[in-house]
Structure 1
Amino acid sequence: MPGDRITLTGLKVFGRHGVFEHEKREGQHFVVDITAWLDLTPAATSDDLTTTLHYGELAQLAADIVGGEPYDLIESVAGRIADEVVKDERLSAVEVTVHKPSAPIPLDFADVAVTVRRDR
């Protein structure tokens, strides 16, 4: 696997995911981090956007999933994003973390997150 990677962190998107009905009804913000491993040599030598992963399109893909169909589990959200991203055959792997900072936990906490990885 190449050591080159593109990383998108802190993508904040409103979604309606959760086991409880009020989570789907009221929604909340989720935060997504994505790291994609691919050989960036073609992009570095050609300076051509078409030879690399377009991080704007990557962000939009993730935002569409988080803001789209409600899931019970953030594991499902992260898995769906990873499965879509890794369809790009230039990638050797992708790692997706979905944070749910407003999870319904009756304790003081900073964050809850799930990370999934898909390898080609």
Structure 2
Amino acid sequence: MTPRSPSREEWQPVCKIADLEVERGVAALVHGQSVAIFRAADDAVYALGNHDPFAKASMIARGIVGVRQGVPFVASPAHKHAFDLRTGRCLEDAHVAVPAYAVKVIDGVVLVGHRKAAAA
């Protein structure tokens, strides 16, 4: 069975890219899940699950965005664990990750799609 790509209905419009502050996160309800949306300095947009598995609270969107050895990340405001914005994997503990979601921008609108497969 081949994985199917998201249909038009599976891409949920969230906001305009112009509404996102650079290197700041916002939380949004996407497909029934709390998702943290980030706009990087290069205008790349990322979406991660908003629940911090270490703090056991929904706060990833309030984290600090940065780059470590070429890896864009967000550091949770509670315990400062860094999560790769591309994959959701914790940079300090490879056994821990938050969900990462497919994102695209069309005509200035940020759309969030399916949850990406877990990083290997």
Normalised by the shorter chain, which TM-score bucket? 0.3 to 0.5
More helix by share: 1
Q: Which has the larger radius of gyration?
A: 1
What TM-score do the two structures reach when normalised by structure 2? Answer: 0.34
More strand by share: 2
Higher relative contact order structure (alpha carbons within 8 Å, sequence separation ≥ 6): 1
